[in-house]
């Protein structure tokens, strides 16, 4: 899967680096080129998947440190929203594969929103962990 994604990214970058004489420039109705949409979709997809294990580990650490239930619930709600967004992106992708639909503007928007929502959940947890750690140090 990773090799396929890297191959796709390589082809995209090669296409951008080698201008062709008389090449037609395509843009979407938003004014963004399909190549840019493909690169952004891949960027957000990769970062979402890289952040998932970090979120899970941070959530477990927050539970162990005794972060309050309201904060854990907020982070979990954000995580669930991100998961739903990614599921929607998968549903509208060609064959249920986001990497096969990198050029889709609709997929890019959903994947981007999923990544930012997961990042928000991760930041909620890291802030809570910092606050609990500072509170524990202050008490000592």
Percent of the chain with pLDDT over 70: 78
Is pLDDT above 70 for 58? Answer: yes
Structure-block tokens of residue 2: 């990773």
Cβ contact 117:52 at 8 Å: no
Structure-block tokens of residue 118: 């997961």
Answering whether pTM is above 0.85, one says no
Alpha helices (runs of H) in the chain, residue ranges in sequence order:
2-17, 34-65, 69-92, 105-139
Average pLDDT of the segment spanning 11-19:
53
Instruction: Give the Cβ contact number of residue 82 at 10 Å.
Output: 24
Average pLDDT of the segment spanning 18-22:
51
Q: Looking at residue 26, what DSSP letter applies?
A: P
Specify the pLDDT at position 32.
82
Task: Tell me the per-residue pLDDT of 121-140, one tens digit each, with 9 for 90 and over.
Answer: 999 999 999 999 887 777 76
Cβ contact 40:107 at 8 Å: no
Specify the pLDDT at position 49.
98
Q: Of 80, 92, 91, 88, which Cα lies nearest the Cα of 117?
A: 80
Is pLDDT above 70 for 23? Answer: no
Residue 68: alpha-carbon gap to chain centroid = 26
Instruction: Give the Cβ contact number of residue 34 at 10 Å.
Output: 15
């Amino acid at each position: 899967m990773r090799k396929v994604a890297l191959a796709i990214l390589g082809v995209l970058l090669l296409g951008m680096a080698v201008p062709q004489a008389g090449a037609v420039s395509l843009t979407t109705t938003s004014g963004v080129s399909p190549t840019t949409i493909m690169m952004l979709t891949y960027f957000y997809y990769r970062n979402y998947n890289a952040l998932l294990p970090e979120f899970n580990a941070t959530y477990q650490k927050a539970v162990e440190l005794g972060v309050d239930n309201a904060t854990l619930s907020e982070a979990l709600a954000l995580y669930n929203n991100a998961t739903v967004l990614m599921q929607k992106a998968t549903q509208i992708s060609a064959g249920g594969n986001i990497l096969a639909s990198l050029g889709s503007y609709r997929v890019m928007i959903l994947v981007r929103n999923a990544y930012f929502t997961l990042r928000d959940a991760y930041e909620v947890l890291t802030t809570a962990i910092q606050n609990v750690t500072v509170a524990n140090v202050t008490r000592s």
